[in-house]
Structure 1
Amino acid sequence: MSTREETRQRVIDAAIDLLTREGRDAVTTRAVADAAGLQPPAIYRLFGDKEGLLDAVAEHGFTEFLASKRVDPDPPDPIADLRAGWDVAAEFGLSHPALFTLMYAEPSRTASPAFEAGMRILMGRIRRLAAGGWLRVEERLAAQIIHATVRGAVLTWLSLPEDRRDPALLTALREAMVTAVTHQEPAVREKGPAGAARALRAALSDQETLSGAEQHLLREWLDRLAAEG
């Protein structure tokens, strides 16, 4: 790590320490510079301005969160895997309340590279649910529901007085998310494209969206996919 990178990280660490101990209002350029053993102009050279510093702190938070994620490319129980991923996100937020609040305070901060990497992990989890016939809604909507419920759960928990924080709140919101995005039983019993093709082919007679010609063409494609299994 170069001297500049080391100094930059020292400033970020100082800002996180102030944020954690004293709240966001305590994170001024002068206070951070003093805590890092630097002069205030150094903050501007490294981060541009205070918002640039806060963006860097948020990116550090997203990177830490990404490192906490556990990824199983082929979980034996995809619903349990979904719950576990939600719990990891909630636990991170409850363990880093000030940092979590800063990370999600402004939509622009969720454009960070680490946030996007975390979303790719989430989309992979959702894609496995879809492939197994578990997914109730479209994949992007599922990601939005999962993300919104865990963020809302953490921020609501943090807004409550400590004597009113009931763990049942977190469990209820997690289970509401599971119910919203998944079926109780998989719509596809067989793994892979062949099983999915058979399930979709069986359901075609119940829909009226496609024309007769479109249904005929789709059945031809599905028959070819089903035959490969």
Structure 2
Amino acid sequence: MSPPAQAAELRRQQNRADARRTILDATESLLAESGLGGFSMRGLVERCGYSAPTIYHYFGDKPGLIDAVLEERLEDLVAQLERAPAKANPVAQARALCLDFARWGIRNPTHYYLMNQPKAHELPPDSAHQKAVDLMSKPLNALIQSGQISEVRLELIRQSLWACLHGLISLPAVQPDFDWNPNLLEASVDVLLAGWLAEFLPSLEFGGGNNVES
């Protein structure tokens, strides 16, 4: 490819990247303002300046566009989970990850809602969503590998944790005017972990406020 052709191709690639970025940023802004129920392609066209056919060219359809926005936000979550300080105790590690995940969901209620909706397209195995699931599962899987908990029992614990975290994330979003106790998240996670795992791991110490020690 000649230098002029290379330069032209680089410009085309940059233009495509700029268009995608503008559309994604406008979508994110509209979702933050109006939620999924108030989001429309007409509003997006007005906000981003690109036509509907152009948007569909880059993202396929509306669900594909929403999935692309969510994937970016989930990449932020994965980075946050990966930064969690390593704990020698797998239960302490699970606690840290649960708290980080819940805080992300509380900060990003619309994205958390989208994450829990049925997907129009099958997610690839290397998606940020799957990476987040794998990171959250890793410390509790260590309990299976060490023979301290059976897979059947651990699946029940996972579902219990998920249900608890879902309530802790969702309720403040639907009832923002309620006077939620600032210690509710940590106290709830600590009590749940203590209730499920103390009998299997009697060496665990639950300190002040039921905090799991590392």
Gaps of 5+ in 2: 1-12, 204-214
Three-state SS of the structure 2 residue aligned to 1:138 is helix
Distance 1:93 1:29 in 2: 25
Q: Which residue of 2 aligns with 1:89?
A: 101
**Does structure 1 residue 33 correspond to structure 2 residue 45?**
yes
Matches within 5 A, 1:24-173: 24-70=36-82, 75-106=87-118, 111=123, 113-132=127-146, 135=149, 138-173=153-188
| Structure 1 residues 111-166: Cα deviation after superposition (integer angstroms, max 9, x where no partner) | 46111111111221112233456547634443333333222320122111323323
Instruction: Judge conservation of contact 2:91–2:139 (CA < 8 Å) in 1.
Output: no
Q: Which residue of 2 aligns with 1:178?
A: 193
Distance 2:158 2:14 in 1: 38
Call closer, same or farther: CA 1:62–1:3 in 2, change over 3 Å: same
Three-state SS of the structure 2 residue aligned to 1:165 is coil
Instruction: Judge conservation of contact 1:134–1:187 (CA < 8 Å) in 2.
Output: no
Q: Which residue of 1 aligns with 2:19?
A: 7
Distance 2:103 2:121 in 1: 20
Distance 2:71 2:157 in 1: 24
AA at the equivalent of 1:183: A
Identity %: 24
Residue 184 of structure 1 and its aligned partner are, at CA, apart by: 4.8
Higher share in helix: 1
| Structure 1 residues 24-45: Cα deviation after superposition (integer angstroms, max 9, x where no partner) | 2332112222222212221121
The count of residues paired between Structure 1 and Structure 2 equals 189
Gaps of 5+ in 1: 189-229
The structure showing larger relative contact order (alpha-carbon pairs under 8 Å, at least 6 residues apart) is 2
Instruction: Judge conservation of contact 1:33–1:39 (CA < 8 Å) in 2.
Output: yes
TM value normalised by structure 2: 0.72
Instruction: Judge conservation of contact 1:142–1:181 (CA < 8 Å) in 2.
Output: yes
Distance 1:133 1:183 in 2: 15
